[in-house]
Each structure stands twice: as structure tokens, then as C-alpha cells.
Amino acid sequence: MVAFRREPRRLLLYLFLFAQSAAVVVFFVASRYRLPLVPILILFAADYCWWLRHQARRRQWWPAGLSLVVVMVAFAAVNRGLPALDRVYGAETDRYLGIYHADRDDPAAAEQAYRRALAADPEYAEAHAELGQLWRDQGRHAEALAHLRRAHGICPQSGATAYLVGTAFAASGEPDSAESWFRRAITLAPYALAYRDLGVLLLDRGRLSEAGALLARASELDAEDLDTWYKLGQCRYLQGEHAGAERALREALRLVPGDPEIREKIESLSRIRRAE
């Protein structure tokens, strides 16, 4: 406030700090959302350093010393940690560290990070889901299912967690269970991946009419998914709908221009249509 009295034009900076801080507190208290405050806080920190230097040159030791005490107390209070927050945000940190390692093909380090997150917060649904996916991709089906089911148990209204359980059943060679969970995911939310994977599952089982409807719905929900368009093209071809197959494959080609395999299939379909 001393700085504000000396320079009223700083009011806008104070208002920004207040508005951003209030928004973070009200909506989502996480470190990444506080980053926009840092440049403004740096300006105030620099101004404080300038004021401190000015006080020292004037030999005004009392206000300078008192301000330093306040700064040290505030620093200690902010950085001492709170057990309740550490349980929440420590787990979050480990979960993101697990994602980092998984993206860099280091499953052992990723597993350790997810385990630490779950040790800190056993009800952390996202960490259960990430660890379950990691183990699903490694072929550890029973362990994957246990964690993915636990994630859905924590978030029973989540279409995403129901979908992940379905993917684990599909990976373990249990198509009936996979179909059931994909349908549950669709019931909970219009989840494009669930429509797509259920369509692919039924396509592989020869249920072409149902598969075509599901894949078409998936393409409506997410027009940027290559696999959806490619499988829809395959389904339409098997149904004898060559024009529909060509349209779907052209959408796939839009996403991967120049793909030789898709181009060849489109050309083949064009020849078939001309011969009809």
C-alpha cells in the first residue's frame, strides 16, 4: 500500500492481482493457474528491492528491518506446507510425473510415480486410471482391470472411466464384457471413443449394421479421429455401400494427406463405383 500511495497508477496492477487470485481460489487452486501472477509479482518484488535500497541509503534501518522480518515470516508461512494440501497436491505432482515418464517410454518410473500418488491419496481416480492404462498396455490385464474398475467406482458417473474398463476387457480378450462397458460409457455420456471402439468391436464380430451406426455417431462427435473414419470406410465397404466407404476414406485422407494406403483404397473404390 506504501507503493500505491506513492504511485496511484499501480492500482491496475493491484486489481489484476486481486481478480486473478480470487478466480484461482474460487474455481481451482492449483499451481499452474497461479503462473499468470508471477510477472506482476516480479514487478512488485523489484519495487520492494528498490525501496529497501533507498531506505538503507537514508539509514532508515527500522522500517527496512521490520519489512524484512515481515517478508521472512510470510516466506516461512507460505513454504512450511500444510498436511491436508500436501496430500492432495503431492499426489497430483506424482501423477503428472507419471504421465511424463509414460510419454517418454519409461513405464517403470511411471509406475513408481503413480504408486506414490495413490499412496498419498488412495481415492485419486485419475491416478488409478493412468496406472490401469499403463498396465493394460503392458498386458497386465488383471491388475489393469482392478485399477480401472476402482477409478470408475470412485467416479461412477464418468463415461471416460467406464470406457477405460471396456478397453481393458477388450485387450484381455473378453469381448462380451468389453461391449457391456462400452455401452455403459455411452449411456453415461456421448463419448466418441466409446462409440468408436464399440463399433470396431462389433465390426470384428460381423455385426455390420450396428457397427456402422456407432462409427457414424463417433465421426459426428469427433471428426478429427483418423481411426473412426478408416473403420467407418471399412464397415461401409463390407456393407456394400461403396459411395459411403469412399466418403469416409476421403475424410481419413484429409487427416493424413498423401497416405499411400488410403489413396490406393479410394482409387480402388472409385473404379468399383464406375464399374457398377
Over residues 23-73, the pLDDT tens digits come to: 777 776 666 667 778 888 888 888 888 888 888 888 888 888 888 888 888
pLDDT tens across 195-213, in order? 999 999 999 999 999 999 9
Each residue's pLDDT tens digit, 100-117:
999 999 999 999 999 999
The secondary structure of 107-146 as a DSSP string is HHHHHHHHHHHHHH-TT-HHHHHHHHHHHHHTT-HHHHHH
CA separation for the pair 67, 31 (Å, rounded): 26
Per the model's pLDDT, the better-predicted residue between 143 and 274 turns out to be 143
Q: Are residues 249 and 169 part of one domain?
A: no
Q: How far is residue 179's CA from residue 176's CA, in Å, rounded to a whole number?
A: 5
Report d(CA 215, CA 197) in Å as an integer: 8
* Average pLDDT value for residue range 129-142: 96
In whole angstroms, give the CA distance from residue 178 to residue 156.
17
Domain ranges, residue 255: 192-276
* pLDDT at res. 89: 55
Give the DSSP H/E element, type plus range, for residue 149. Answer: helix 141-154
Are 147 and 131 contacting, i.e. CB atoms less than 8 angstroms apart?
Answer: yes
What CATH number is given to the structural domain containing 138? 1.25.40.10
pLDDT of res. 28 = 64
Helix (H, G, I), strand (E, B) or coil at 82: coil
Backbone CA torsion sign across 243, 249, 254, 255: positive
**In the chain, % of residues over pLDDT 70:** 90
Asked if residue 125 and residue 46 are part of one domain, the reply reads no
147 in a domain, yes or no? yes
- Do 185 and 199 reside in the same domain of the chain? no
In a domain, 61, yes or no: no
Residue 85 scores a pLDDT above 70: no
pLDDT digits (tens, 9 = 90+) for 161-180: 999 999 999 999 999 999 99
The Cα 238–Cα 136 span in angstroms is 30
Other Cβ atoms closer than 10 A to 31 = 10
- Please state which of the ranges 50-64, 72-86, 187-201, 242-256 shows the lowest mean pLDDT: 72-86
Burial of 236 (0-12, 13-18, 19+ CB in 10 A): buried
Select from 189, 206, 237 the last residue of a domain. 189
What pLDDT score does 31 carry?
Answer: 63
List the beta strands (DSSP E) in 132-238: none
93 & 185 share domain? yes
Region 135-140: mean pLDDT is 95
* Statement: residue 86 has pLDDT above 60: no
Mean pLDDT of 119-125: 92
Q: What is the residue-wise DSSP string for 240-257?
A: T-HHHHHHHHHHHHHHST
| Helix pair 192-204, 175-188: axis angle to 10 deg | 150
Q: Is residue 258 part of a domain?
A: yes
Same domain (yes/no): 165, 252: no
Q: Is 116 exposed, middle or buried (0-12, 13-18, 19+ CB in 10 A)?
A: middle
168 and 242 inside one domain: no
| Position 92 pLDDT exceeds 60 | yes
User: What percent of the chain has pLDDT above 90?
Assistant: 61
pTM confidence score: 0.71
Structural domains in the chain (count): 3
Last residue of a domain, one of 157, 189, 221: 189
Q: Within 13 Å and on the Cβ side, how many CA atoms surround 43?
A: 11
> Is 93 part of any domain?
yes
pLDDT of residue 79 exceeding 70, the answer is no
Q: What is the pLDDT of residue 32?
A: 66
- Say what the pLDDT of residue 75 is: 79
In this prediction, residue 11 carries a pLDDT of 75
The reported pLDDT for the residue numbered 77 is 74
Residues 208 and 185 in one domain: no
